[in-house]
């Protein structure tokens, strides 16, 4: 069977719009491709019309590669600009998925019990990862793919989402003393949150807080009866510590509705791989049943989600070799650990 080319495969995946929540077509493409190449393919239901894809070389894989097939909006199709593969998902994470598939095929040919876990919903609720974590698996090692600049991540920040909601009393804006502005109240609360001294970790760095969305009021000439803001905190400490800090700052002046939360994650290293710390959150924290986690991927997070998202074709080809080397090393280590456990028994 003709070997797959990572750039050509990335183009195919990137040509299919798979904005979070609408991943069906790209999962169907991956399913047809992998089953046609002899992989044992199993869909993992996530929600109505949405599913992950697990493709295994054997019935009992030990090493699993995982990344996500959903992307942020807006979709724009791929194009080649010299060495640059440009388009939505180029580095986050369809280019990575293509490199992983190519590497997994090479490992399968060498007899490594490898699997591919292709997920949906990573950019929003991590619901694909949570669904995958509920199924039984023999995997001992999980190699995750996100744009790490072709370095091995030693840690990733977690994330905490929250909605801050203030309530007021509507009145004619010419007589503001007759009402109470929820927008004014929200601005005061947000000002205090922005002034907080946030935790710092020697490895993961600073906690950061982003006010990503604000809404409130009904009209220019009405004192606002309600307002709300959505926050996202990049965590370097335990989520409960950050929740308590935000609650103390808000001090009952607003309602807090907590959203999706993932804790920070620390990972091990591998000899001869450069390392770095990532400020973003991944699905790995939701995949605790799939083995010891590692994180590596070509491309830069600095261009992910942007209008110029891209990856170098040469970096994609090098990533295939890196993933193959990681998979081989992790397989050897897991076998060695398995033998040691057997001897102890």
Q: Which residue numbers are catalytic?
A: 122
Handedness of CA 321, 23, 46, 32 (dihedral sign): negative
Distances (CA, A) of 307 to 80, 198, 202, 283: 15, 31, 33, 24
Asked, as a colleague might, if the bond just before 175 is cis with ω within 30 of 0, I would say: no
Residue 7's nearest CA partner among 131, 139, 97 is: 97
- Return the SS3 of 55: strand
CB atoms within 10 A of CB 52: 25
**CA 27 distance to own-chain centroid:** 17
Residue 288's nearest CA partner among 94, 91, 66 is: 66
User: At 265, which helix (H) or strand (E)?
Assistant: strand 265-266
Calpha distance 192→308 (Å, rounded): 35
Calpha distance 191→212 (Å, rounded): 14
Contact 24, 128 (CB under 8 A): no
Contact 65, 116 (CB under 8 A): yes
């Amino acid at each position: 069977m003709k070997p797959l080319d990572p750039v050509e495969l990335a183009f195919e995946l990137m040509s299919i719009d798979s904005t979070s929540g609408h991943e069906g077509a790209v999962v169907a493409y991956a399913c047809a491709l992998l089953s046609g190449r002899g992989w044992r393919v199993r869909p993992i239901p996530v929600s109505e019309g949405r599913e992950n894809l697990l493709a295994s070389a054997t019935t009992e894989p030990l090493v699993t590669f995982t990344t996500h097939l959903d992307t942020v909006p807006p979709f724009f199709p791929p194009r080649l600009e010299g060495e640059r593969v440009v388009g939505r998902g180029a580095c986050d994470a369809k280019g990575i998925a293509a490199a992983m598939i190519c590497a997994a095929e090479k490992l399968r040919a060498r007899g490594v019990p490898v699997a591919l876990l292709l997920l949906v919903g990573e950019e929003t609720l991590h619901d694909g990862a949570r669904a995958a974590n509920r199924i039984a698996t023999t995997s001992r090692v999980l190699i995750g793919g996100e744009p790490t600049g072709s370095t091995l991540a030693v840690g990733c920040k977690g994330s905490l989402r929250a909605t801050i909601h203030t309530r007021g009393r509507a009145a004619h804006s010419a007589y503001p003393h007759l009402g109470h502005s929820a927008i004014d109240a929200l601005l005061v609360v947000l000002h205090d949150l922005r002034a907080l001294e946030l935790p710092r970790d020697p490895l993961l760095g600073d906690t950061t807080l982003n006010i990503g969305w604000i809404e409130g009021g009904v009209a220019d000439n009405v004192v606002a009866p309600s307002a709300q803001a959505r926050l996202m905190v990049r965590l370097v400490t335990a989520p409960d510590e950050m929740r308590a800090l935000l609650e103390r700052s808000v001090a009952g002046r607003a309602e807090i509705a907590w959203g999706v939360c993932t804790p920070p994650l620390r990972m091990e290293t591998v000899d001869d791989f450069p390392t770095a710390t990532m400020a973003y959150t991944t699905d790995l924290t939701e995949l605790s049943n799939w083995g010891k986690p590692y994180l590596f991927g070509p491309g830069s997070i600095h261009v992910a989600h942007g209008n110029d998202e891209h990856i170098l074709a040469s970096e994609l080809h090098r990533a295939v070799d890196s993933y193959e080397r990681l998979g081989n090393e992790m397989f050897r280590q897991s076998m060695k650990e398995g033998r040691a456990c057997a001897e102890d028994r």
